[in-house]
Structure 1
Amino acid sequence: SKVKITSIHVNIQRKIRIFCWFYSLCVTLCVFGTSRVRKDKRQL
């Protein structure tokens, strides 16, 4: 039962890591997208 608990904990940590990476990627894309839109508006 002890091994099962640790494996579940590792699985949760992996999911949190993937979620954090995905979230940071989305934030980066959003910041990059908004800055790009502002540049396009300036050109117009």
Structure 2
Amino acid sequence: MAAPPPPLRPLLPRLVALALALTVAAAARIPGSRTPISRNL
């Protein structure tokens, strides 16, 4: 039997992690960016 399509819940952590990774990468690439994440890291 084919497994039912996964709900949206398992995808949310992946999207959040991906967004955080992209934000950190952008903050690391752009010096003096307006995001305070680069300063905290």
Equivalenced residue count is: 28
- Where has structure 1 moved over 2 Å in runs of 4 or more? none
Q: Which runs of 5+ in 1 are unaligned?
A: 1-6, 39-44
Unaligned runs of 5+ in 2: 32-41
Tell which has more relative contact order, 1 or 2 (C-alpha 8 A, sep 6+).
Answer: 2
How far the C-alpha of 1:32 sits from its partner, in A, is 0.2
Specify which structure has the higher proportion of helix: 1
Q: TM-score by structure 2 length?
A: 0.55
Tell me how large the CA RMSD over aligned residues is.
2.0
- TM-score, with normalisation over the residues of structure 1? 0.52
Q: Which has the larger radius of gyration?
A: 1
